[in-house]
A and B are shown apart, each in its own frame.
Chain A
Amino acid sequence: MINIQDIRDTARDMLAKGEVRAVIGYRRGSRGMLAEPAFITDPEQANELVWDPTCFHNLSLYLVHDRKFLAHIRKNPNAPVAIVAKGCDARSIVVLLQEHYFKREDVYIIGVSCEGTGVVDERKLAPHLNGFQASNAAFDGDDFVFTTAEGEKRLPAREVMADRCLECRIPFPKEHNAVFGEDKTGRQLEAPFAALTRFEAQEAGARWDFWSHHFDRCIRCFACRSVCPMCYCDECVVDSITFPVTHETTAEEKANRIRWIERSATRSENITYLMTRAMHLAGRCTDCSECERACPVNIPLRLLNNKMEREAREQFGFEPGASIGGQSLVASFLDKDPGDFIR
Chain B
Amino acid sequence: MSEQQVYEPRIVAFLCKWCSSAGSDLAGVSRIQYPPNATPITVPCTGAISPMYIMSAFNKGADGVLVSGCHIGDCHYIEGNFLARRKMKLIMELIEFIGVEPNRFRMSWVSAAEGAKFAQVITDFVDDLKPLGPQDKLKKAELT
Give which listed residue, B79, B86, B97, B108, contacts A200 with CB less than 8 A: B97
Q: Look across to chain B and name the residue whose beta carbon is closest to the beta carbon of A308.
A: B90
How far in angstroms is the closest Cβ of chain B from A140?
39
Give which listed residue, B94, B97, B108, B141, contacts A342 with CB less than 8 A: B108
A329 at the interface (CB under 8 A from B): yes
B140 at the interface (CB under 8 A from A): yes
Q: Look across to chain B and name the residue whose beta carbon is closest to the beta carbon of A282.
A: B90
How far in angstroms is the closest Cβ of chain B from A301?
12
The answer to whether A307 and B93 touch across the interface, beta carbons within 8 angstroms, is yes
How far in angstroms is the closest Cβ of chain A from B53?
8
B56 proximity list for chain A (CB < 8 A)? 260-261, 272
How far in angstroms is the closest Cβ of chain B from A343?
4
Stretch at the interface among B5-13, B24-32, B36-44, B98-106: B98-106
A105 at the interface (CB under 8 A from B): no
The answer to whether B138 and A272 touch across the interface, beta carbons within 8 angstroms, is yes
Q: Which of B59-118 contact A (CB under 8 A)?
A: 59, 72, 79, 82-83, 85-87, 89-101, 106-109
B137 proximity list for chain A (CB < 8 A)? 208, 212
Report how far A251 CA is from B140 CA in the complex, Å. 24
A residues contacting B by CB (< 8 A) are: 200, 204-212, 237, 260-261, 266-269, 271-272, 275-276, 278-279, 282, 304, 307-308, 311-312, 315-316, 329-331, 333, 335, 337-339, 341-343
Q: If A271-B138, A279-B94 touch, does A316 touch B86 (CB 8 Å cutoff)?
A: yes
The answer to whether B101 and A279 touch across the interface, beta carbons within 8 angstroms, is no
Can you name 25 A-B pairs with beta carbons within 8 Å? A204-B96, A204-B99, A204-B101, A207-B99, A208-B137, A211-B98, A211-B99, A212-B137, A260-B56, A266-B140, A266-B141, A268-B140, A269-B59, A271-B138, A272-B56, A272-B138, A275-B51, A307-B94, A329-B86, A333-B82, A337-B82, A341-B92, A342-B108, A343-B106, A343-B107
How far in angstroms is the closest Cβ of chain A from B120?
9
Q: If A204-B99, A211-B99 touch, does A279 touch B51 (CB 8 Å cutoff)?
A: yes
Give which listed residue, B55, B79, B87, B101, contacts A272 with CB less than 8 A: B55
Q: Look across to chain B and name the residue whose beta carbon is closest to the beta carbon of A331.
A: B83
B124 proximity list for chain A (CB < 8 A)? 343
A211 proximity list for chain B (CB < 8 A)? 98-99
Question: What is the total number of residues of chain B having a CB less than 8 Å from a CB of chain A?
Answer: 36
Q: Look across to chain B and name the residue whose beta carbon is closest to the beta carbon of A318.
A: B86
Q: Look across to chain B and name the residue whose beta carbon is closest to the beta carbon of A199.
A: B97
A209 proximity list for chain B (CB < 8 A)? 99
B1 at the interface (CB under 8 A from A): no
The answer to whether A260 and B52 touch across the interface, beta carbons within 8 angstroms, is yes
Most buried by A among B55, B72, B91: B55
3 closest cross-chain pairs (CB), A and B: A208-B99, A207-B99, A333-B82
B98 proximity list for chain A (CB < 8 A)? 207-208, 211, 271, 275
Report how far A186 CA is from B39 CA in the complex, Å. 51
How far in angstroms is the closest Cβ of chain A from B31?
23
Q: If A304-B94, A308-B94 touch, does A337 touch B138 (CB 8 Å cutoff)?
A: no
The answer to whether A267 and B141 touch across the interface, beta carbons within 8 angstroms, is yes
How far in angstroms is the closest Cβ of chain B from A148?
40
B93 proximity list for chain A (CB < 8 A)? 307-308, 311
How far in angstroms is the closest Cβ of chain B from A260?
5
Report how far A266 CA is from B138 CA in the complex, Å. 11
The answer to whether B109 and A342 touch across the interface, beta carbons within 8 angstroms, is yes
Report how far A316 CA is from B88 CA in the complex, Å. 13
Give which listed residue, A210, A279, A331, A343, contacts B90 with CB less than 8 A: A279
B82 proximity list for chain A (CB < 8 A)? 333, 335, 337
Report how far A269 CA is from B89 CA in the complex, Å. 22
B121 at the interface (CB under 8 A from A): yes
A333 proximity list for chain B (CB < 8 A)? 79, 82-83, 85-86
Report how far A307 CA is from B90 CA in the complex, Å. 9
A335 proximity list for chain B (CB < 8 A)? 82
Report how far A214 CA is from B87 CA in the complex, Å. 25
Q: Which of B127-144 contact A (CB under 8 A)?
A: 137-141
